[in-house]
Structure 1
Amino acid sequence: MSRSPKPSALIQQVNDHVAVRMTIIFGSIWCVYAFLVFSLIPLAAPAWQNTLLYISNCIQLVALPALMVGNAVLSRGTDQRAAEDHAALIEILNDVRAEVGELKAVTNDLARKTDAAAHRPPSEVVSISDEAVINVMDEAPRTTVSSRPA
């Protein structure tokens, strides 16, 4: 069973919709053209100037709050997206920090092993493979091959 929204939520949705629509309408170039024509009417009919001034003031009194509310409603979505982006970036940052920590551990381990190998005494016998052994302490290097049954 689906619930209908509360009356206050429905009123809020209607108010938001009206404010956004008014913001879009007042922000259009067609509204600019309409107000331009409206402002030129007193040139053609000077007797209507007081009435047009009254209408102009009423439009301004309604339009300014409507534009402010419409911008606030439109910015809610932007604020929500910014918060979601921030959360995603924080998660990525934490992942990068974890990976950098792992890389530091691997680098430190590699440096420790390299340092230990550098301080190890040289070996007298070096085995290249299972078959060839080189004695590095002899004057003339010679290679001995061990015979392995196949």
Structure 2
Amino acid sequence: MTNQSPKSSLISEVNERVAVRMTIIFGSIWCVYGFLVFSLIPLAAPAWQNTLLYISNCIQLVALPALMVGNAVLSRGADQRAAEDHAALMEILNDVRNEVTELKTVINDLTRKTDEVAHRPPSEVVSISDEAVINVTDEAPHVTPPAPTS
């Protein structure tokens, strides 16, 4: 947690906004066109060449640090978004891992139960319901009536 005063925070915010705005302006195609026209002025007025060279150097001295600060501020936002995306993806990955673990448990239970049924000895008497019992060892199928209930 920073202990900046409100005045210092305001100045820092204004500086960052100016740097970002300058980065956007210097990164536009219109700035390229403006500098192209600026660079062609000595062709029309050769006497102004030294003055224009001085102005050009001043622009470079101001623009370079402003562009660096603007890029740092803009990349801070991108870094924050990347961290948030990473956290969300890790949460999704953990959910998927939990679901896969649950699926593996269900598959293992089904496999175990299937193996138990496959290795169980065959039964001689099969009861379809409470009313009919079939003896599978008899040659002719016959149904035994249920015992009378009292």
TM-score (norm 1): 0.88
1:98 Cα deviation from its structure 2 partner? 1.2
Matches of 1:113 and 1:61 in 2, distance apart?
78
Aligned residues: 145
- The one-letter code sitting in structure 1 at the alignment partner of 2:56 is S
1:36 Cα deviation from its structure 2 partner? 0.7
Cα-Cα RMSD: 1.9
1:60 Cα deviation from its structure 2 partner? 0.8
Alignment of 1:51-130 (within 5 A): 51-130=51-130
Q: Give CA deviations for 1:110-141 in whole Å, capped at 9, x if unaligned.
A: 11111111111111122233444322111122
Matches of 2:42 and 2:83 in 1, distance apart?
50
In the alignment, what sits opposite 1:10?
10
Q: Give CA deviations for 1:76-113 in whole Å, capped at 9, x if unaligned.
A: 11100100111111111111111111111111111111
Q: Residue 134 of structure 1: SS of its match in structure 2?
A: strand
Flag structure 2 segments of 5+ consecutive residues without an equivalent: none
Matches of 1:47 and 1:129 in 2, distance apart?
113
1:31 Cα deviation from its structure 2 partner? 0.7
Q: Residue 108 of structure 2: SS of its match in structure 1?
A: helix
Q: Residue 133 of structure 2: SS of its match in structure 1?
A: strand
Matches of 1:114 and 1:85 in 2, distance apart?
43
1:37 to 1:145, Cα distance in 2 relative to 1, 3 A: farther
Comparing 34-43 with 139-148, which one deviates more in the overlay? 139-148
Q: Give CA deviations for 1:30-88 in whole Å, capped at 9, x if unaligned.
A: 11111010000000000000110111111111111111111111111110010011111
Matches of 1:11 and 1:147 in 2, distance apart?
97
Matches of 1:12 and 1:148 in 2, distance apart?
95
Alignment of 1:15-34 (within 5 A): 15-34=15-34
1:148 to 1:56, Cα distance in 2 relative to 1, 3 A: farther
Identity of aligned residues (%): 82
Flag structure 1 segments of 5+ consecutive residues without an equivalent: none
Matches of 1:57 and 1:109 in 2, distance apart?
77
Q: Residue 126 of structure 1: SS of its match in structure 2?
A: strand
